[in-house]
Amino acid sequence: DIQMTQSPSTLSASVGDRVTITCRASQSISTYLAWYQQKPGKAPKLLIYKASSLESGVPSRFSGSGSGTEFTLTISSLQPDDFATYYCQQYDSYRTFGQGTKVEVK
């Protein structure tokens, strides 16, 4: 099974900060990776698919990069609405989510 490991687990940041979250796969998954944002009590929201493709309607301050086993999600300038938990997910073999990264107010 493919394991997905995110770091950090928690990130403290301020509005306007550049934020980077890392996701590592236990084996190569090419670019079969998506990123989701989840707020308390809500379903996850798709941000990025195919490692770097921005989902329609998602602000351009979100970007994704990487291939193989190492991936990053970057928020170029953190906005108040961006405080949430972020999950990576591979879809190369079955589907596996990372454990999540909570972005909290510093």
Q: Per-residue DSSP letters for 33-81?
A: EEEEEE-TTS--EEEEETTTEEPTT--TTEEEEEETTEEEEEESS--GG
Is 83 a residue that touches another protein (CB under 8 A)?
no
Residue 83 CA from chain centroid, whole number: 13
Question: From the list 23, 37, 71, 98, which residue makes contact with another protein (rule: CB under 8 A)?
Answer: 98
State the nearest-atom distance from the C-beta of 100 to another protein, in Å. 5
**In the bound complex, what is the minimum distance in angstroms from residue 14's beta carbon to another protein?**
25
Interacting residues with another protein (CB under 8 A): 1, 32, 34, 36, 38, 42-46, 49-50, 55, 87, 89, 91, 94-100
